[in-house]
């Protein structure tokens, strides 16, 4: 896939040679297992190395897998080993669920104020360990330290937000049609919840779910992704320090056994709710498995966000918005712009300003302060981006900046990098119009009328976020209402924060996370009818 056009000189190249188990650099595209951890944490550069845990967390104890097998975790920028976590299976998951069920007997009966205070302690610990937590995110996910610090702030904000929601889970009194009856509705925690999270926000996707669950009085079994388990385990450690009782939070790590673990988390009768963020195909499979016990579900699945620039937009603001929206996390967020539609009369201006800015990006190791964009998570992610670019170019798109040349050299870079790329004149038949790319490709498509672009934007099975830039107030309302998505950004490329109801329509998911509705997903309503008055 190398040499890369416009690729920054800071990235090192080496001749590709087959690797052996003894090699320290291992590709993320391959699964590696071994029987014991030999990696120590002193080279992580943390102020508090005890935040690094290489074991699962069940019933307040750090535990290995029953069979002793482990998963190797590597840094996507350097391919160096970071450490190992246990390869657990359904048996360990069952134990974790039982621990969560036992803990629910007491945690579910605590006062909202008690849970508020613990969540605030947990939030403050995340602030206190801000630098270390950000560094862990960068080392295992690859995003730049600046972005990782942003994620830690975002992640901690869910604990603060839900602490404040915990004490406001009001019920209601409903007027009865009968004179001798009074109706009261109370809210109760749903019980044990299964939480399955992705690698693109190793910390924030956990707290967005866990904060709500704990605030509501639920207990949890969490399966973090195998690529980024250390942020999750550090959160478990901080929750322990904050006083979250044993069994309330449990973490089961797995890679090879993911299907069996997922099945246990969805099919167990003890679990009352499943919350998942990840791809639409996996979401459907978890939904099917959860159907056997009719569980409550929260699903935040794939997006294919349209981003529209109308001719009355502030073009400079639209370019800034596109950069923020498209290249956040090197294009690896569910709400990243995937299809950028630009009205014909401003197309050339927008395209050249965007390309000029993207050409200044510096791709590299996220720990390097001069790096603006980190690697993709693994080689499979790079392959998908390569496929989308090749397909678009074959169909007539042209590369304004970035892109790649066909692999003729047998040279392999260290790290799973792809250069930030701008493609112009992307035909609507290109694969990236239908599939979420999850990479740093800005795909520009020309349009003529509002009606035409709304039809193109809505021509998708998914509908998570959509963005558009316009200064016409009538158009702003019309287009915001017409887009078939759960969240709209007008004249902004960044919509996420703890206070909004995050979620999608169509095949992008079920339910909302964050906002005042986020905690409701973890509560049941119960009617108490007082008769015989």
Residues that bind ligand SIN (CB under 6 A): 200-201, 277, 300, 333-335, 496
Q: In angstroms, give the least distance from the CB of 335 to ligand SIN.
A: 5
Q: In angstroms, give the least distance from the CB of 446 to ligand SIN.
A: 28
Give the other-Cβ count within 10 Å of 407's Cβ: 13
Q: In angstroms, give the least distance from the CB of 51 to ligand SIN.
A: 23
- Burial label for 357, CB within 10 Å (0-12, 13-18, 19+), is middle
What region does 179 belong to: left with phi over 0, alpha with psi -120 to 50, or beta? alpha
Q: In angstroms, give the least distance from the CB of 46 to ligand SIN.
A: 25
- At 468 the three-state DSSP class reads strand
For ligand SIN, give the closer residue by CB, 7 or 201. Answer: 201
In angstroms, the CA 203 to CA 58 distance is: 19
Q: Is the dihedral of CA 260, 266, 268, 270 positive or negative?
A: positive
Give the other-Cβ count within 10 Å of 477's Cβ: 11
- Burial label for 434, CB within 10 Å (0-12, 13-18, 19+), is middle
Give the residue at shortest CB distance from ligand SIN: 496
Q: In angstroms, give the least distance from the CB of 358 to ligand SIN.
A: 21
**Residues 335 and 305: beta-carbon distance below 8 Å:** yes
172 catalytically annotated = no
**Residues 265 and 78: beta-carbon distance below 8 Å:** no
Q: In angstroms, give the least distance from the CB of 294 to ligand SIN.
A: 26
**Residues 125 and 238: beta-carbon distance below 8 Å:** yes
For ligand SIN, give the closer residue by CB, 300 or 450. Answer: 300
What region does 36 belong to: left with phi over 0, alpha with psi -120 to 50, or beta? beta
Q: CB-based contacts of 284: which residues, under 8 Å, 6+ apart?
A: none
Q: CB-based contacts of 321: which residues, under 8 Å, 6+ apart?
A: 307, 467, 469, 489, 491, 492, 493, 494
Q: Which of 81, 151, 300, 513 is catalytic?
A: 300
For ligand SIN, give the closer residue by CB, 255 or 305. Answer: 305
Q: In angstroms, give the least distance from the CB of 57 to ligand SIN.
A: 23
Q: In angstroms, give the least distance from the CB of 502 to ligand SIN.
A: 6
DSSP 264-305: HHHH-SSEEEEEEES-HHHHHHHHHHHHTTT-EEEEE----E
For ligand SIN, give the closer residue by CB, 237 or 300. Answer: 300
Element (H, E) at 206: helix 204-216
For ligand SIN, give the closer residue by CB, 119 or 498. Answer: 498
For ligand SIN, give the closer residue by CB, 56 or 511. Answer: 511
Write the CA distances from 46 to 129, 136, 138, 233, 252, integer angstroms: 9, 8, 12, 15, 24
Q: In angstroms, give the least distance from the CB of 277 to ligand SIN.
A: 5
Q: CB-based contacts of 346: which residues, under 8 Å, 6+ apart?
A: 309, 310, 311, 313, 315
What region does 198 belong to: left with phi over 0, alpha with psi -120 to 50, or beta? beta
For ligand SIN, give the closer residue by CB, 140 or 300. Answer: 300
**Residues 286 and 276: beta-carbon distance below 8 Å:** yes
Q: Which positions are annotated as active-site residues?
A: 300
């Amino acid at each position: 896939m190398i040499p890369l056009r416009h690729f920054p000189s800071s990235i090192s190249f080496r001749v590709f040679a087959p690797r052996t188990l003894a090699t320290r650099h291992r590709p993320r595209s391959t699964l590696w297992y071994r029987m014991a951890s030999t990696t120590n944490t002193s080279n992580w550069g943390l102020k508090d190395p005890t935040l690094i845990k290489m074991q699962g967390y069940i019933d307040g104890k750090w535990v290995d897998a029953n069979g002793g097998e482990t998963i190797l975790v590597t840094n996507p920028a350097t391919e160096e080993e970071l450490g190992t976590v246990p390869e657990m299976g359904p048996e360990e998951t069952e134990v974790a669920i039982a621990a969560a069920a036992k803990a629910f007997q007491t945690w579910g009966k605590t006062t909202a104020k008690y849970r508020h205070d613990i969540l605030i302690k947990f939030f403050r610990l995340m602030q206190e360990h801000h630098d270390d937590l950000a560094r862990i995110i960068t080392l295992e996910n690859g995003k730049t330290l600046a972005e990782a610090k942003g994620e830690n702030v975002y992640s901690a904000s869910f604990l603060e937000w839900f602490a404040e929601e915990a004490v406001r889970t009001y019920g209601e009194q409903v007027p009865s049609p009968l004179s001798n009856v009074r109706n009261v509705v109370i809210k109760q925690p749903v019980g044990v919840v299964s939480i399955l999270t992705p690698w693109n926000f190793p910390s924030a996707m956990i707290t967005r779910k866990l904060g709500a669950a704990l605030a509501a009085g639920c207990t949890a079994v969490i399966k973090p992704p195998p690529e980024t388990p250390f942020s999750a385990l550090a959160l478990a450690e901080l929750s322990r320090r904050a006083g979250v009782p044993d069994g309330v939070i449990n973490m089961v790590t797995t890679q090879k056994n993911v299907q069996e673990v997922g099945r246990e988390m969805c099919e167990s009768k003890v679990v009352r709710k499943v919350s998942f963020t990840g791809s639409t195909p996996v979401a459907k499979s978890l939904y099917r498995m959860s159907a056997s016990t009719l569980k409550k579900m929260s699903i935040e699945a794939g997006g294919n966000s349209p981003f529209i620039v109308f001719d009355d937009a502030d073009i400079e603001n639209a370019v800034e918005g596109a950069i923020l929206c498209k290249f956040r996390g090197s294009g690896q967020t569910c709400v990243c712009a995937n299809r950028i539609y630009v009205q014909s009369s401003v197309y050339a201006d927008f395209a050249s300003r965007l390309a000029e800015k993207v050409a200044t990006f510096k791709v590299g190791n996220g720990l390097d302060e001069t790096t603006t964009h980190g690697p993709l998570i693994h080689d499979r992610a790079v392959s998908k981006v390569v496929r989308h670019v090749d397909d678009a170019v074959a169909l007539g798109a042209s590369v304004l900046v970035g892109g790649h040349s066909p692999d003729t050299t047998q040279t392999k870079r260290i790290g799973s990098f792809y250069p930030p790329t701008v493609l112009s004149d992307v035909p609507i038949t290109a694969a990236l119009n239908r599939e979420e790319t999850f990479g740093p490709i800005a795909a520009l498509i020309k349009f003529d009328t509002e009606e035409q672009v709304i039809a193109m934007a809505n021509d998708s099975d998914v509908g998570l976020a959509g963005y558009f830039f316009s200064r016409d107030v009538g158009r702003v309302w019309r287009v915001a209402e017409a887009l078939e998505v759960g969240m709209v950004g007008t004249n902004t490329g960044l919509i996420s924060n703890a206070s909004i109801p995050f979620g999608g329509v169509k095949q992008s998911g079920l339910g909302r996370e964050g906002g005042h509705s986020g905690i409701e997903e973890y509560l049941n309503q119960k009617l108490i009818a007082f008769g015989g008055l």
